[in-house]
Amino acid sequence: MEKNYGFNDYKFFTEMSELAFRHKSYDLSLGLPDFEIDPRLRYFLKESADIISHSYESLSGNSLLVENIIRFNLNRKNSLSLKYGEVNIVPCSTFALYTSLKSILNSGDEVIIIQPSYYTYAPSIVLNGGIPVYYNLENDFKIDWEKLQQCISVKTKAIIVNSPQNPTGKTWSKHEWNQLYELIKHQEIYLISEEVYDIYHYDQEEHYSSFLHPELKKKTFCIFSFGKMFHATGWKVSYLLAAENLLENFRNHQQYISYSSNSPCQYAIAKYLDVFDPSENQKIMQQKRDIFNELIQSTPLVVEEVSQAGFFQIVNFRNITKTMTDVEFSKWLTIEKKVSCLPLSAFYNSKTDSDYIRFSFAKKDDVIIQALEHLSKVL
């Protein structure tokens, strides 16, 4: 019997992109980079076809890749020292989220989602027998710790945090991870920390991982994405950090779902990490963010706070209309004004309107420039 559990958000995301295609609009709706990857990454993938055995990798992943992940994290400005047994290669970040939840949830357990959030979180909880509990950020998108604490109950089993956050571009600091730990330290509450935009921090800021907290890391599943890191989202290879006992339980479930991840891509990524400089990709994306934010000033759309990190910029559209919902405005902008975006309410379970829309600046410079120059003429 068919079940959809009431979650249809992905259809809306697809609909907006299809609207852009159908109406020949500039598509800034989705975080799908449309610019070229590093040619060296292509080279290593081609090399892997001739060198590797094309057999399954182990549950934990290609040993060279695991070792290079350890080295990569040690070389961060906020250096992260890892054991071999704390690293696991996974097919994608969504898989890591789903399987982390599967490894800890019992039927009826509650999981707190901080909204706005990506649409896969709640379905992953429900499909694993859990109950989503929503904590909604206000317009400043900052954590109110007293309100977050009110969401915690005796049934709370996990909290999902996304830093840098999609869609707001907000990041968590050492202080915020400390505050979160103080909230959950006396209960068996786990943290699912999705940090897939980790290298994309702007204006001299650096990523501070939840896994740096000496106590919090004991109860954390920390998710990263090579697809985001190399703007090669179709590769579908990510990695997970967790304490060795948590990873052991994670793998007990992983072996029955995917077993391992793409072998040729694992080899190529392992080789590429030897030459990869994350600051180069960070500079490319910050330039795109800056182009977007400079040009949008020529429109009635208002950026209240420039994105700190990630692929996205939140924009207030109420100078243009006080009556349209954000969904109506997004469709109007896509169809009538030929630039596609997403309404912020699409990232909430309970909201049907907001004052904000989300644009992706993970696009070719020419696309960003043409889209914003077009908006400056038609709005």
Quick one: average pLDDT of 282-299?
Answer: 98
- The stretch 363-378 carries a mean pLDDT of 97
Percentage of the chain beyond pLDDT 90 is: 86
Helix H or strand E segment including 93: helix 93-104
Sign of CA dihedral 357, 361, 362, 368: positive
Burial class of 365 by CB neighbour count within 10 A (0 to 12, 13 to 18, 19+): middle
pLDDT digits (tens, 9 = 90+) for 171-185: 999 999 999 999 999
Average pLDDT for 250-263: 92
Say whether both 132 and 161 belong to one domain.
yes
End-to-end CA distance of the chain: 48
Number of neighbours of residue 351 by Cβ within 10 angstroms:
17
- Mean local confidence (pLDDT), 269-275: 97
For the segment 205-250, what is each residue's pLDDT rounded down to a tens digit? 999 999 999 999 999 999 999 999 999 988 899 999 999 999 999 9
Mind listing the pLDDT tens digit for each residue in 22-62? 999 999 998 889 999 999 999 999 999 898 888 888 889 99
Per the rule left: phi > 0, alpha: psi between -120 and 50, beta: everything else, 339 is beta
Contact between 149 and 183 (Cβ < 8 Å): yes
pLDDT at 140 over 70: yes
pLDDT digits (tens, 9 = 90+) for 91-130: 999 999 999 999 999 999 999 999 999 889 999 999 999 9
Q: Which of the listed residues 214, 238, 272 is the one where a domain comes to its end? A: 272
Judge whether 4 lies within some domain. Answer: no
* pLDDT per residue as tens digits for the range 3-31: 555 565 667 778 888 999 999 999 999 88
Global pTM reads: 0.95
Q: Residue 90 belongs to a domain with what CATH number? A: 3.40.640.10
The predicted structure's pLDDT at residue 9: 60
Q: Which residue has the tokens 């996990």?
A: 158
Q: Rounded CA gap, 114 and 137, in Å?
A: 7
| Lowest mean pLDDT segment, chosen from 47-56, 62-71, 156-165, 265-274 | 47-56
- 73 and 215 both lie in a single domain: yes
Q: Tokens standing for 195?
A: 């940090």
Quick one: 210 and 318 in the same domain? no
pLDDT given for residue 53 in this prediction: 80
The C-alpha atoms of residue 242 and residue 100 are separated, in whole angstroms, by 10
Predicted confidence band at 2 (pLDDT cuts at 50, 70, 90)? low
Count CB neighbours of 217 within 10 A.
23
Query: By the 8 A CB rule, do 372 and 295 touch?
Result: yes
For 261, left (φ over 0), alpha (ψ -120 to 50), or beta?
A: beta
In a shared domain, residues 320 and 172: no
Same domain, 263 and 288: no
| Token code pair at residue 5 | 């559990």
Q: What is the mean pLDDT of the chain?
A: 94
Q: 126 and 205 share a domain? A: yes
Q: Which domain does 371 fall in, by range?
A: 9-37+278-378
pLDDT for residue 1: 42
Number of domains in the chain: 2
Do residues 263 and 216 share a domain? yes
Tell whether 115 and 211 lie within a shared domain.
yes
